[in-house]
Structure 1
Amino acid sequence: MKICLIAEGSYPYVTGGVSTWIQTLMTEMPEHEFVIYVINADSKRKGRYVYELPPNVVEVKEVCLDSYVMEKGKWGRRFQLPQEDLDNIVALISGDETLNWEGMFNLLRSGVFENTIDFLSSKDYLDIVERIAERVNHPLPFNDLFWTINSMILPLIVTVREELPEADLYHCVSTGYAGIAGVLAKHLHGKPLLLTEHGIYSREREEEIIKADWVKGEFKELWIRYFYTLSSAIYAAADEVITLFHRNKEIEVEMGCPEEKIRIIPNGVDVGEYAELPAVPDDGTIRIGAIVRVVAIKDIKTMIHSFALVEKEIPNAELYIMGSADEENIYYEECLQLVSSLGVNNISFTGQVNVSEYIGKMDMTVLTSISEGQPLAVLEAMANGKPVVATNVGSCKELLLGKTDDDEPAGIICPVLHYEKIAEALITLCRNRELREAMGKSGYERVSQFYRKSVFIDKYRTLYQSLGR
């Protein structure tokens, strides 16, 4: 079977839980061929992979959203678009439920426009923005609204106008633009469509937009509604929707995904891989590990603030931030400046490392994300018998505290952004070796019972076979 995996901004350009999940899925299923269809914001990343592609990857299709900068168009043309096409684009931007995706695809892929800029520089597009301005009814400069809508719709047009490789099954690993590519694939080729939602993409974009300086306050609602509209398209079109834990399923149902489509398949790790790792050195140092990319959504700044408090109470504590730092360079520099301004001495940014060479030497791990799905970093720590301090995001609470009141804790859950509570939890574990060992044992037993890689792979193998027949 040929399976097309559709990803956005992750594999094979950056490391992380979703990328590792994709690599594992392909590696463990050599009986299938895989096509990677990846949507990437920056053409400079094209061909710069951080993963060695498995031999059963037969094609990589890279869609660069900034490709439009090389296009040329003539301002002010009139294409005389049918009223239903104009209505459809207004519905897309305004979040109207009358949106017809089939009509949208047919319009944007038609020969009417030579390229993306042709449409965005047309009088027809100007008419659309004027209609939306009437609906928004904000006393805002028309020019600001025009360029805001331009920024919203441009990546969608670039994505929709690209050709999709033919496959027996299309599998999206998020909603958003990747999800739209999947809906388009089903429209063009009539093959089954599967969605695995690790985190809730539209919720993550909402959090980013609320905090973003680049989106003016009046336009935040417009952006947020737009991303929910994109998600609703694949919820409607997908044959099956896979999520990782029960709370995500509840959110998807709240957002309009039919409950009967959704099934839960947790992530998994090979517990045996963590059995013989290097042990914690008996040298009096308390080592805290963070298996995490240095990006804003992981909230490394809160982690730094927390450790600054830990270091004052536990002078022999060390924090190792183990993950790539080149994805958001400005944010990484801000983190370094924060370390310096707080006068923290014992923080090491290791860059990307082989986790198995480090995690065994840690006394505990920490995760301070503001959004997660089911983080592989937590599963890896539990598989190695390490207690975890994590924020209450995604499935972290379920992983660390279990599903029932009788389950023994495998770590401590803290509020998002609350660096004092996180520091308090870390200090508690630093001072209590017996507690660390008890929580580590509980985590190991939970992973061994409920989160095995072999089970996760078998369930997807069966799912592929049932859909791809």
Structure 2
Amino acid sequence: MRIGLLTEGGYPYVGGDAGLWCDRLVRGLGQHEFDIYALSRSERQEAGGRLPLPPHVGRVRTAPLWSAADDGVVYGRRARRRFAEAYGELAAALCTAPEPGTSRGAPESSGPEADRFGNALYALAELARDEGGLAGALRSEAAARVLERSCRAPGALRAARAARVPDLLEAAARLERALRPLSLDWYEDDGLGSADLCHAATGGAAALAGLLARHLAGVPLLVTEYGVHLRAHYLGASDGAPAVRALLASFHRRLAAEAYRRAACVTPGNTHARRWQERCGADRAKLVTVYPGMEASRFTDVGESADCADPYTLVWVGRVEPTKDLISLLHAFADVHRKEPKARLRIIGSAAGADGTAYLGHCRALAAQLFPDEAEGVHAVGDNPVSFEEIGGPEVPDLAEAYAAGAVVVLSSVVEGFPISLVEAMLCGRATVSTDVGAVVEVIGGTGLVVPPRNPRALAEACLALLRDPERRERLGAAARARALELFTVEQNVAAFRGIYLEILSHSPVRRVLVDGAGEPLPFGAPAEAQVPGRWTDPLRLRARPRWAGAAHPAPDAVSATVPLKESVPVAGGAR
């Protein structure tokens, strides 16, 4: 089958957010043809280049979210009226306060307001397809006036009613950026219209493009979120006036609900993400948990060896930033070192950005204060109880060696989504001590110790318990490795999506009816095996006509067959 893979700020760009798992997925499903539709977030990202692609990637089409070219189209009277009506409905849906008793974070997944938002969104997309010029219209003074009327209307959000003119202009500009996928030329028969399935690798703009392909071309949609886009927006929406933040939050909330409602299947990466999606209106029957796949082979040598560099060493591995709460870890280790003088702590990782660099300096200063006798050499590996290191040096040449450097791996975060470093430690067969945040408990599954976050005393007691009991460490490490190999490998991830693709396609209607020379329909003219490359896929010498001939919105020209074979979906740790 042909898969249209939709990404935002990720694959196939080098260093993209979702680049690694998308690349593994594409390479693991070599029997399918992939077309990649990538939305880039910055000019710098595009300049960084792309990853090398396998031969079954047919094409790559990219579009920037950081700029929008005005095509110079000036709307006439009819087009202006269509735009005012559609944008007015969209703005009214965004400004409408939730119904009494509705959770603040969970919009209605169905009902008049959900339909109002979706209908307005698709009306704008149809206007862009028919007339063009949508980018300019969204940046026009008329758009700001429409937004102002909706903010001043009775029953509007309290924050929106207080919006001033600069706030309205800023909100209109940010909404125009969020709606840029509506103006793309991706949805015709030579683009996503020829795909059998759209797979959005994240929420937000990628899911919006998938919604438009579904509406304009009838292509079924699969949405995967390893980090919930709406949650990321809430955490990062700290700038702007209250009115701007309220309108943007309403947009992303309703967009998430629309994507979950229209998608054929939604695959969260863990139960933590699944709960967010359910609160945003996702139907439980559509949710299938698929864990991220990790490359286990790079950790095989360490995982199969019972040896460690030092049985009294604690190891922390990751990106140094305030959410990792190394301050609590250092205070906990001070308690550990008082009770076990042989204990050492190796902090292995690099700082992320200016905030991370400043935080790393603060941690080093605290380590020198907590261990004054060894303050002069606190940055080096030796007799000092605390060391700060980076991967790639002589002591830690690679990631596997970082986990092999100690007997216990510690995670001290206060905010965490899916803990990648924890899975890596499990693949290395290491016992772990972690804080109860994000999906940690789900990942550990009883193979490690879990303590409350921001609790140095509990963290110290758990670390001491494992340092003093080598048999328990070995038992937990073996169980952790077995669990990671069962649930969190690339093979499990690829197998799950292979089954999900077939399951979705088996329930998708044929979008084109083949007819013979006399115009009579051929019910089996597009057999299931036509989805698999081979001699039977030679071009059919048949004349085809759309099923909805003469309808207002005819079906696309792509041939897609219903797969009669239902294959069970092997999903690691999830249930349909």
Superposition TM-score tier, normalisation by shorter sequence? 0.7 to 0.9
Q: Is the 8 A contact 1:274 1:356 kept in 2?
A: yes
Matched position secondary structure for 1:381:
helix
Contact 1:303 1:419 in 2 (8 A): no
Contact map agreement 2:315 2:405 (CA 8 A) in 1: no
Correspondence for 2:213: 185
- 1:406 — aligned with what? none
Match of 2:21 in 1: 21
Determine the structure 1 residue equivalent to 2:405. 361
Unaligned runs of 5+ in 2: 97-112, 338-342, 369-377, 379-386, 506-562, 564-576
Residue in structure 2 matching 1:310, options 333, 338, 360: 333
Q: Is the 8 A contact 1:206 1:224 kept in 2?
A: yes
> 1 CA distance for matches of 2:129 and 2:411?
43
Structure 2: which amino acid aligns with 1:318? R
Deviations 1:274-318 (A, max 9, x none): 33138665357625132x45567xx23x13552354257446311
Instruction: Give TM-score scaled by structure 2 length.
Output: 0.68
- Name 2:420's counterpart in structure 1: 376
Aligned Cα root-mean-square deviation (Å): 3.6
Q: Give the greater-gyration-radius structure (CA).
A: 2
CA contact (8 A) 2:88 2:150 kept: no
Which position in structure 2 is the counterpart of 1:339? 363
Q: Deviations over 1:232-267 (max 9, x none)?
A: 121122111122344543442332112222223334
Relative distance call for 1:19 and 1:370 in structure 2 (3 A) is: farther
Matched, 1:255 2:274: no
Please point out which of 111, 115, 131 is paired with 1:111: 131
Rounded to whole Å, the distance in 2 between the matches of 1:417 and 1:205 is: 25
Residue number among 156, 165, 175 corresponding to 1:143 in the alignment: 165
Question: C-alpha offsets along residues 391-420 of structure 1, whole Å, 9 cap, x if unaligned?
Answer: 4334321221x2xxxxxx322334455566
Instruction: State yes or no: 1:87 paired with 2:88.
Output: yes
Cα distance change, pair 157–243 in 1 and its aligned pair in 2 (3 A)? closer
The answer for the alignment partner of 2:223 in structure 1 is 195
SS of aligned partner of 2:433? strand
Residue 390 of structure 1 pairs with residue 390 of structure 2: no
Aligned to 1:282: 309
* Superposition TM-score, scaled by structure 1 size: 0.81
User: 2:430 & 2:50 partners in 1: Cα distance?
Assistant: 27
Distance verdict in 2 for CA 1:376–1:14, change over 3 Å = farther
- The one-letter code matched in structure 1 to 2:54 is P
The answer to whether the Cα contact below 8 Å between 2:292 and 2:489 also exists between their aligned partners in 1 is: yes
Kindly state the Cα deviation for residue 443 of structure 1 after the two structures are TM-superposed.
0.8
- Describe the shift of the 1:4–1:414 C-alpha distance in structure 2 as closer, same or farther (beyond 3 A): farther
In the TM superposition, residue 71 of structure 1 has moved relative to its aligned partner by 5.4
CA distance in 2 between counterparts of 1:251 and 1:245 reads: 10
Which whole-Å CA distance do the structure 1 matches of 2:476 and 2:175 have between them?
Answer: 48
Structure 1 unaligned spans of 5+: 403-408
**AA of the residue aligned to 1:289:** W
Tell me the equivalent position of 1:34: 34
- Equivalent positions of 1:35-434 (< 5 A) are 35-49=35-49, 51-68=51-68, 80-82=80-82, 84-94=85-95, 96-97=113-114, 98-99=116-117, 100=119, 101-111=121-131, 113=133, 116-134=135-153, 135-138=156-159, 140=162, 142-164=164-186, 165-166=191-192, 167-209=195-237, 212=238, 214-217=239-242, 219-269=244-294, 271=296, 273-277=298-302, 281-282=308-309, 286-290=313-317, 292-293=318-319, 299-300=323-324, 302-307=325-330, 309-310=332-333, 313-314=336-337, 316-321=344-349, 329-343=353-367, 345=378, 346-350=387-391, 355-369=399-413, 372-400=416-444, 402=445, 409-416=446-453, 421-422=458-459, 425-426=462-463, 428-430=465-467, 432-434=469-471
* 1:107 alignment partner AA: L
AA partner of residue 501 (structure 2): Y
Which amino acid is 1:286 matched to? Answer: T
Aligned to 2:108: none
The separation in 2 between residues aligned to 1:423 and 1:182, in whole angstroms, is: 48
Does the C-alpha gap of structure 1 residues 102 and 152 become closer, same or farther in structure 2, counting only changes over 3 Å?
same
Identity of aligned residues (%): 22
Counterpart of 1:252, as a letter, is Q
- 1:102–1:286: structure 2 CA closer, same or farther, 3 Å change rule? same
Deviations 1:411-457 (A, max 9, x none): 23344555665565445545554443332122123224444443332
Q: Is the 8 A contact 1:5 1:170 kept in 2?
A: yes
Q: Deviations over 1:94-120 (max 9, x none)?
A: 36432113213223445252x624431
The more displaced of 304-313 and 57-66 is: 304-313
Q: Deviations over 1:342-372 (max 9, x none)?
A: 3553222448985345333343334455555
User: C-alpha separation between the residues in 1 aligned to 2:490 and 2:167?
Assistant: 48
The equivalent of 1:405 in structure 2 is none
Alpha-carbon distance between aligned partners in 2 of 1:347 and 1:304, rounded to the nearest angstrom: 13
Alpha-carbon shift at residue 16 of structure 1 (Å): 8.3
Q: Which is further off, 311-320 or 377-386?
A: 311-320
Which residue identity does 1:243 align to in structure 2?
Answer: P
The secondary structure found in structure 1 opposite 2:11 is coil
Structure 1 residues 360 and 86: alpha-carbon distance in aligned structure 2, compared to 1, 3 A threshold: same
Q: Distance in 1 between matches of 2:431 and 2:146?
A: 58
